[in-house]
Amino acid sequence: MDLPKLPVGDAIEVLVDWIEQYFGWLLDGISAVLGFLIGGLQDLLLAMPAPILILLATALVWFVTRRDIRLAGLTVLGLLLIWDLQLWNLAMLTLALVLVSTIVALAISIPLGIVAAGSDAINAALRPILDFMQTMPPFVYLIPAVIFFGLGNVPGTIATVVFAMPPALRLTNLGIRQVPVELIEVADAFGSTPQQKLFKVQLPVALPTIMAGVNQCIMLALSMTVIASMIGAGGLGYQVLVGIQRVNIGMGFEAGLAIVIIAIILDRITQNLMPQQVGDR
Amino acid sequence: MLEGSVISDNLSEDENSRSLQPTISVESLTRVFGQDHKKALELRNSGCSKDEIYEETRNTLALYNVSFEVMPGEIFVLMGLSGSGKSTLLRCINRLIEPTSGRVLIGGEDIVSMSQDELREVRRRSLGMIFQSFALLPHRTVLDNIAFGLEIQGIPEDERYQRGKELLRIVGLGEHGASMPSQLSGGMKQRVGLARALAGDPEILLMDEAFSALDPLIRRGMQDELLDLQQRLKRTIIFVTHDLDEALKLGDRIALMKDGEIVQVGTPEEILTNPVDAYVEQFVAGVDMTKVLSASDVMRRPEPVARYNAGPRVALHLMEEHDIGSVFVVDRERRLKGLVTLDDALEAVRAGRGLEEIIITGVPTVALDASLADIISLIAGSPYPVAAVDDESRLQGLIFRGAILGALARKRRDVNGSA
């Protein structure tokens, strides 16, 4: 005997139709803004000749790592290799996609993390949603992204934002909750307003943990670029996808290597953004 | 220090007694941790203990019906074992913990019924707090930590840095303004904590086990510095500690707490010599009395003394009349000049010399508040009685070996025998 199949799929389709009908304007707006940001950032990165950008990136690494000569050297060599492999334009598009997704993801996740840290009820409500977002295979995000935003860089960014958000939110929440209770008492005992407590005590003390979340967010965004290329997001990820489709190992490897280089550079920069550890526990 | 009865008598009187208004007045303060406050309090009223109440309701009666007053310029010590409610009580005074019922009057205003805005103002204006774990903000320099309270109040940067540097000097950390807290030792951290609490110039300091995390040696140093500072600054201090020696050293009055209630309030002397019940007695049993009693507790009236301008004959006469081997010599203002022995006086009379030729100067003296421990070591090395002198080196009393032993024996009997 067959059980009657519940119309889950049908319900989702109805929901999607409803959203498109009533919130189409919002989707179009988001699409336009994201498209503009990605295009603008890519144009900006490409407006500079590659050697100059390589120098700037190296200087940035040199500066934030407090003159780590090895990392600066690695940055120069890595970026020169990307340039040499003629993957520069694609790499800049990937960088633009990653940066825009990360900024959007952080703009949502850090405030939500702060709110969740301040309210057990909101934290309890958010937790299953975050679990869901993190355990769902990332490919699944591609479907609604395509439905609402079509093909291209914008739906790729949307899927990336959803995928990259949870760790930043969780770590912001955790970092604030782990601020020692005496420091909260200090803020209160000296007559802080809730805003002063947040900005002068909670956020600065939680900053190392929050920065770990930012780092995770960037790394996840970068790892999503290959997956997002399946719905038309461009850049190095797309190059990898083409390599897979044509069984062209050389092409796939070169693009993959470029992604790894960018990942390492971004990771080292964000890990060193924190001022010298001043823990006092 | 003022007696409890004096305080309450004067409270009802007119404006002349205004200086005797308590700075802080805690009235029947109760705090229950848990859901069922009413049930917990009913059980308490029917005589259940804190543990029984917890068994029955899963509520902790942290404070029950606590009342006391703290006078301006007083160091009031809350003492008790861990779990006795002393830190909770301290936190109720600035409402870091909300009292379940009762009132806390600061300068006549009830903190408990204030709005958040009013409470914030009082915290900024009149309440400084110092924490056991120092609780310095790890991301801020020492100077920015000290200026934290001023920053919260919206005071401009140069003004608060100026004040911060002034306080750095007061607590003896002049050069460490730019250091991070992690670079400081424990004692230095707590100096920063003290400076931070003083920065806003509050009349009240709440000190929660402020020195308990420090090494014994550094802790004693900090206690001395606090007393020095208090002489100059005259704040009203509530000091929480579990250390009886610390309480006795710092406290003008001590409140001994047990299971969320105050068992006894009194001066250190009163607590030691007049414990109200077996618990207090047990608590103070291990006290080293030589650190509690001072010169003024054991000295005798300085009789007789020889006047400096009198001759050796007079001194000799005094010694013979009182059957003593030496006599102290003072000038017209009773300032101590030295000591003359019987043998020297006899010799001087025979040879016709004056008192100034035989006087022994540099005899050991102690201040009136010197502890017995200090006096014992002095007297052990001296063949003469020790002279107790006041700030202007006027002779106030004489301390004999026998008096010290007698005082120690008597106090011990008082403490042990009053159950």
Tell me whether residues A204 and B181 touch, CB distance under 8 A. no
* Residue B123 touches partner A, C-beta closer than 8 Å: yes
B231, B253, B287 - which closes a domain: B287
Tell me whether residues A190 and B131 touch, CB distance under 8 A. no
How confident is the model at residue A180, as a pLDDT?
Answer: 94
Residues of chain A found within 8 Å of residue B117, distances taken between Cβ atoms = none
Give me the number of domains chain B comprises.
2
Task: Assess contact for B69 and B7: CB atoms under 8 A.
Answer: yes
Residue with tokens 């949870």: A166
How confident is the model at residue A3, as a pLDDT?
Answer: 83
List residues in chain A touching B: CB distance below 8 A. 180, 182-183, 185-193, 196, 200-201, 204-205, 207, 275, 278-281
Tell me whether residues B96 and A188 touch, CB distance under 8 A. yes
Q: At A140, which amino acid appears? A: V
Q: Do B240 and B344 sit in the same domain of this protein?
A: no
Those of residues 166-185 in B touching chain A at CB distance below 8 A are: 180-182
Q: Are strands B101-106 and B109-110 parallel, antiparallel or unpaired?
A: antiparallel
Query: Smallest CA–CA separation between A206 and chain B, in Å?
Result: 10
Using CB atoms, pick whichever of B124, B140, B181 lies closest to residue A190.
B124
Least confident span in B4-13, B153-162, B304-313: B4-13
| C-alpha Rg value of chain B to the nearest Å | 27
Residue B329 falls within a domain, yes or no?
yes
Q: Do B238 and B337 sit in the same domain of this protein?
A: no
Query: Smallest CA–CA separation between B411 and chain A, in Å?
Result: 41
Residue A79 falls within a domain, yes or no?
no
Higher pLDDT, A101 or B403: A101
Tell me whether residues B182 and A279 touch, CB distance under 8 A. yes
Q: Which residues contact B281 (CB under 8 A, 6 or more apart)?
A: B275, B415, B416, B418, B419
CATH number at residue B160: 3.40.50.300
Tell me whether residues B139 and A192 touch, CB distance under 8 A. no
How confident is the model at residue B410, as a pLDDT?
Answer: 62
Q: Which residues contact B247 (CB under 8 A, 6 or more apart)?
A: B77, B79, B239, B241, B254, B268
Residues of chain A with pLDDT under 70: 1, 275-281
How confident is the model at residue A34, as a pLDDT?
Answer: 93
Residue B416 falls within a domain, yes or no?
no
Residue B176 falls within a domain, yes or no?
yes
H helix intervals, chain A? 8-47, 50-64, 69-84, 88-118, 120-135, 138-149, 153-177, 181-189, 194-197, 203-228, 236-245, 249-271
Least confident span in B38-52, B138-152, B174-188: B38-52
User: Is a pLDDT exceeding 80 seen at residue B67?
Assistant: yes
* Residue B260 touches partner A, C-beta closer than 8 Å: no
Q: Helix (H, G, I), strand (E, B), or coil: what is residue A118?
A: helix
Across the A/B interface, how many CB contacts are shorter than 8 Å?
73
Those of residues 77-96 in B touching chain A at CB distance below 8 A are: 91, 94, 96
Higher pLDDT, A67 or B140: B140
Going from the C-alpha of A166 to that of each of A137, A163, A170, the distances in angstroms are: 14, 7, 6
Residues of chain A found within 8 Å of residue B133, distances taken between Cβ atoms = 180, 182
- Measured distance CA(A42)–CA(A155) in Å, rounded: 17
Tell me whether residues A204 and B139 touch, CB distance under 8 A. yes
Residues of chain B found within 8 Å of residue A182, distances taken between Cβ atoms = 131-133, 135
Q: At B372, which amino acid appears? A: L
Length of chain B, in residues: 419
Nearest to B262 by CA among B8, B76, B84: B84
Tell me whether residues B124 and A191 touch, CB distance under 8 A. yes
By C-alpha distance, the chain B residue nearest A180 is B135
Q: Helix (H, G, I), strand (E, B), or coil: what is residue B27?
A: strand
User: Is a pLDDT exceeding 90 seen at residue B198?
Assistant: yes
Query: Smallest CA–CA separation between A189 and chain B, in Å?
Result: 6
pLDDT band at B412 (very low <50, low <70, confident <90, very high): low
Tell me the average pLDDT across B155-165: 94
- B300-356 pLDDT, tens digit per residue, is 888 788 888 888 888 888 888 888 888 888 888 888 888 888 888 888 888 888 888
Tell me whether residues A192 and B138 touch, CB distance under 8 A. no
Residues of chain B found within 8 Å of residue A201, distances taken between Cβ atoms = 137
Residue A279 falls within a domain, yes or no?
no
Residue B419 falls within a domain, yes or no?
no
Residue B418 falls within a domain, yes or no?
no
Predicted TM-score (pTM) of this structure: 0.75
Using CB atoms, pick whichever of B127, B135, B138 lies closest to residue A278.
B138
Query: Smallest CA–CA separation between A181 and chain B, in Å?
Result: 9
Give how far the C-alpha of residue B303 lies from the chain's centroid of Cα atoms, to the nearest Å. Answer: 32
Q: State the DSSP code for B155.
A: -
pLDDT band at B227 (very low <50, low <70, confident <90, very high): very high
Q: Do B281 and B300 sit in the same domain of this protein?
A: no
Tell me the average pLDDT across B243-259: 91
How confident is the model at residue B11, as a pLDDT?
Answer: 39
Using CB atoms, pick whichever of A185, A193, A278 lies closest to residue B96.
A185
Tell me whether residues A188 and B152 touch, CB distance under 8 A. no
Residue B81 falls within a domain, yes or no?
yes
Using CB atoms, pick whichever of A180, A189, A207 lies closest to residue B96.
A189
CATH number at residue B329: 3.10.580.10
Residue with tokens 């700075």: B23
B227, B252, B287 - which closes a domain: B287
CATH number at residue A106: 1.10.3720.10
Q: Do B114 and B178 sit in the same domain of this protein?
A: yes
Q: Do B40 and B168 sit in the same domain of this protein?
A: yes
Q: Do B230 and B328 sit in the same domain of this protein?
A: no
Count how many Cα atoms sit within 13 Å of the Cα of residue A25 in the half-sphere of its side chain. Answer: 1
B222, B256, B287 - which closes a domain: B287
Structural domain for B155, as ranges: 4-287
Tell me the average pLDDT across B209-235: 90
Going from the C-alpha of B99 to that of each of B27, B50, B61, B85, the distances in angstroms are: 11, 17, 11, 12
SS (H, E, C) B103-140: EEEECCEECCCCCHHHHHHHHHHHEEEECCCCCCCCCC
Count how many Cα atoms sit within 13 Å of the Cα of residue B162 in the half-sphere of its side chain. Answer: 5
How confident is the model at residue B16, as a pLDDT?
Answer: 43
User: Is a pLDDT exceeding 70 seen at residue B8?
Assistant: no
Tell me the average pLDDT across B16-30: 79
Query: Smallest CA–CA separation between A186 and chain B, in Å?
Result: 7
How confident is the model at residue B269, as a pLDDT?
Answer: 85
Q: Do B311 and B281 sit in the same domain of this protein?
A: no
Tell me whether residues B148 and A191 touch, CB distance under 8 A. no
Tell me whether residues B148 and A196 touch, CB distance under 8 A. no
Q: Do B320 and B243 sit in the same domain of this protein?
A: no
Tell me whether residues A189 and B136 touch, CB distance under 8 A. no
Tell me the average pLDDT across B44-53: 83
- Measured distance CA(B112)–CA(B41) in Å, rounded: 19
Residue A56 falls within a domain, yes or no?
no
Using CB atoms, pick whichever of B133, B152, B182 lies closest to residue A191.
B152
Which candidate in B90, B111, B140, B152 is best for mutational testing of the A interface (most A CBs within 10 A)? B152
Residue B375 falls within a domain, yes or no?
yes
- Measured distance CA(B151)–CA(A187) in Å, rounded: 11
Structural domain for A253, as ranges: 8-47+85-271
How confident is the model at residue B142, as a pLDDT?
Answer: 95
Q: Do B113 and B60 sit in the same domain of this protein?
A: yes
H helix intervals, B60-173? 86-93, 116-126, 142-146, 148-152, 157-170
Count how many Cα atoms sit within 13 Å of the Cα of residue B195 in the half-sphere of its side chain. Answer: 31
Q: Do B34 and B60 sit in the same domain of this protein?
A: yes
- Measured distance CA(A13)–CA(A123) in Å, rounded: 30
Residue A68 falls within a domain, yes or no?
no
Residues forming a β-bridge with B101: B30
User: Is a pLDDT exceeding 90 seen at residue B191?
Assistant: yes
Q: Do B115 and B261 sit in the same domain of this protein?
A: yes
Residue A2 falls within a domain, yes or no?
no
Residue B414 falls within a domain, yes or no?
no
Query: Smallest CA–CA separation between B406 and chain A, in Å?
Result: 48
- B258-280 pLDDT, tens digit per residue, is 989 999 999 988 888 888 888 88
- Measured distance CA(B313)–CA(B360) in Å, rounded: 16
Tell me whether residues A191 and B139 touch, CB distance under 8 A. no
Give me the number of domains chain A comprises.
1
User: Is a pLDDT exceeding 80 seen at residue B15?
Assistant: no
Query: Smallest CA–CA separation between B98 and chain A, in Å?
Result: 13
Query: Smallest CA–CA separation between B144 and chain A, in Å?
Result: 11
Residue with tokens 């850049």: A235
Q: Do B93 and B171 sit in the same domain of this protein?
A: yes
